[in-house]
Amino acid sequence: MRATITFICFIITFISFAQNDFRVMKEVEAFKKNLTEKTAITNSIIAEFKQEKFMSILSQQLISNGTIKFKQPNMVKWSYTTPYLYDIVLNGNGIIIDDGGKVNEFSVGSSKLFSEMNQLIINSVQGNVLDATKFNITYLENKEYFAAVLTPIDKKQLGAFLSEIEIYFDKQDYSVSRLKLVEPEEDYTQITFFNKQFNQAISDEIFSKK
Amino acid sequence: MKFFLKSKILSIAFISIQLHSFSQEVEQLPIPYLSFNDTNVIYDMSMSYKKYYGSGLLVLKRQSKSNYHGVFLSKMGLKLMEFKIIDGVFVWKKMIQYLDKKSVRKIMERDFAMLMLSDVESAERIKKKTTKNDVMKYKVWSTRKLLLEVDDSNIVYIENRGGFNLTKTKIVFDNYEKNTPKSLNLTHNAIKVKLQLELLEQ
């Protein structure tokens, strides 16, 4: 029964991706090896991002923009600049939110869901998210991208909020170009990264409370 | 017989006065800020409770008479709460586990219904109380009893009334532009939770 459901999910995923010329990835092991090598030599990433929220309630998608800074081993700062000023920092110890000047700090361990989301975000940015113990993974590719489609195995925590995570890797440099977070009700968030810079110096200070 | 006739005429006169005054008041109903068309409004919503401060985006839509839809999501895009009012009945579609408590749900149902003015739309009876400095006060009988203040056809204040009302919800609708309030401020009696909503300009 479980195998049948997995097979049906795979077919649905495959059909929707086929519309964008995606096909089953030929060299999965080579892709994983190259991705691991790329992750190992990437100490930092600075990129701009465009976040688009698609929901049935919205007459048009909700767009926000900003910059993201990532530094090994596990520090990420998302800075939203339009249409609101909002920073969220994940620094390994906790989460710092600066909401237009109002700053709040939380411990990651205080919520299992937050903890999982935190890990997912950090791993996604690094491209180090292909954990078969937590996700059923389908590997696809087209001319421009490699894609990994992750379905959470635990439906109670992460799976209650996200039914699918699609990660698109640039074929040129194996960096993450696009993230699509699909909710159980089929609303989704798409984040596109551009103007990416690798291994630039980033001060640790930007990941701590001011 | 004479007495019976007299009292009958009096009651008919009373009923017609009542009906007349009711119909007058119905004509004076304020304009709802959520319109029936296909658009939605988005507010940047912040919540403070003692030392805690959090924020997100609240999307509201009035789909048809007595049918509403609302979503509260984090600024990173994660949907935290979703609810609908279907033919006047509040239905939760999604609720973050942390807040999923019966007492919290009950207060939030009232808060969101009052924010969207769904109770005013489905009012059984509206009665004008007073007018002061162009602000008209109304008593509203609906799913709950309400006090309403209207200025220039726009609702500027609403609170629920009656019964054992320790957690009374009070909302100020402010800074109207094209019949849509750009700022809303929600407070409660006896609970130190404060919601501040600012219309998101996209």
The tens digit of pLDDT for each residue in A104-158 reads 888 876 666 666 766 777 777 766 777 778 889 999 999 999 999 999 998 877 8
What does the alpha-carbon distance between residue B2 and residue A30 come to, in Å, rounded to a whole number?
A: 104
Considering only CB atoms, A83 lies closest to which of B54, B82, B202, namely B202
Picking from A183, A191, A198, the residue whose alpha carbon sits closest to that of residue A57 is A183
pLDDT in tens, A77-93: 999 999 999 999 988 87
Q: Chain A interface, mutation test: which of B75, B78, B94, B98, most A Cβ atoms within 10 Å?
A: B75
Considering only CB atoms, B75 lies closest to which of A80, A113, A187, namely A80
Inter-chain touch B46–A102, beta carbons under 8 Å? yes
**pLDDT at residue number B17:** 42
What does the alpha-carbon distance between residue B2 and residue B12 come to, in Å, rounded to a whole number?
A: 16
Interface check A49 vs B, CB under 8 A? no
* CATH number, domain with residue A35: 2.50.20.10
What does the alpha-carbon distance between residue A159 and residue A36 come to, in Å, rounded to a whole number?
A: 26
**E-only strand ranges, A1-111:** 23-24, 44-54, 62-71, 75-82, 86-90, 94-99, 102-107
**A193 has pLDDT over 90:** yes
**pLDDT at residue number A156:** 79
User: How close, in Å, is residue B92 to chain A by CA atoms?
Assistant: 14
Q: Chain A interface, mutation test: which of B76, B92, B97, B197, most A Cβ atoms within 10 Å?
A: B76
CA distances from B75 to A79, A144, B142, B179 (A): 11, 30, 34, 26
Interface check A115 vs B, CB under 8 A? no
Considering only CB atoms, B40 lies closest to which of A53, A59, A64, namely A59
A5 vs A208: which has the higher pLDDT: A208
Query: What are A124's strand-pairing partners?
Result: none
Domain span holding position A164: 2-207
**pLDDT at residue number A197:** 96
pLDDT in tens, A18-73: 556 999 999 999 999 998 888 889 999 999 999 999 999 998 899 999 999 999 88
Inter-chain touch A59–B38, beta carbons under 8 Å? yes
What does the alpha-carbon distance between residue B5 and residue B109 come to, in Å, rounded to a whole number?
A: 49
Considering only CB atoms, B59 lies closest to which of A57, A83, A113, namely A57
**Domains in chain A: how many in total?**
1
Q: Which residues of B touch A80 (CB under 8 A)?
A: 75
A200 vs B2: which has the higher pLDDT: A200
ipTM associated with this complex: 0.82
Whether the Cβ atoms of residue B54 and residue B80 lie closer than 8 Å to each other: no
- pLDDT (tens place) for every residue of chain B, 202 residues total: 455 555 554 454 444 444 344 434 545 567 677 876 668 899 999 988 777 788 999 999 998 888 999 999 999 898 889 999 999 899 999 888 777 888 889 989 999 999 999 888 888 888 888 888 889 999 988 888 999 999 988 899 999 987 777 789 999 999 998 888 999 999 998 888 899 999 998 7
Whether the Cβ atoms of residue A96 and residue A78 lie closer than 8 Å to each other: no
